[in-house]
Amino acid sequence: MIINKFYEGDAIYCKYDFVYGNDWEKEDGQISGQSQFACKGEGSYDYFVWNLPFECSFRSLNPYGWPKLVISCVYPDFLGREVIKGYGVVHIPTQPGRHERTIQIFSPLTSSLLLKFFGFLIGQKAEIINAPKVIASGEGREITRTKCEGSVKVVFQVTQRDMEKFGYNN
């Protein structure tokens, strides 16, 4: 289940992608998917709720490249065009059990007012090309100007198997 709080907007959906290193392989489940549109509640329920269960199993003999969850949030603009609201990333917890994580959602800013104006005209804000891989790697983030858009809370249920057999302690 994902619950989120954004600073502006009335309807939104999210896309998720699991990104992992070369030594990892997907065992079962889907590594990407998309939620339904959610509308903001009223009063004290001024947040969005996506009941978006996802299940994915991975295996590896090397902890390098531990899987990450990348979230991309999308909303309709005033003309009904789908526009990226922002991105966020979190490592999958390394310990078994139930874990809640709050992911800060950010959006890239354009480099000039002229580009911002043209982006408004064509309905396309600044976006990251190949977003899941780029965001998960973190390369180039120090030179990217961003704006905080809100946060997303994700609840993980993590299980592990045979970690001690390979020399890793829980």
Query: What's the predicted TM-score (pTM) here?
Result: 0.82
pLDDT over 90 for what percent of the chain? Answer: 21
Catalogue all structural domains in the chain, each as residue range(s) with its CATH number.
2-166 (2.60.40)
The chain-wide mean pLDDT, for the chain, equals 81
Instruction: Average the pLDDT over 74-78 and give the result.
Output: 81
Query: Which carries the bigger pLDDT value, residue 7 or residue 21?
Result: 21
Asked if residues 170 and 95 have their Cβ atoms less than 8 Å apart, the reply is: yes
> What tens digit of pLDDT does each residue of 94-114 get?
888 999 999 999 988 877 777
pLDDT at residue 59 in the model: 86
In sequence order, the 6+-apart residues with CB closer than 8 A to the CB of 117 are: none
Higher pLDDT: 68 or 63? It is 68
Q: Give the burial string for 151-165 (b: 16+ CB within 10 Å, else e).
A: bbebeeeeeeeeeee
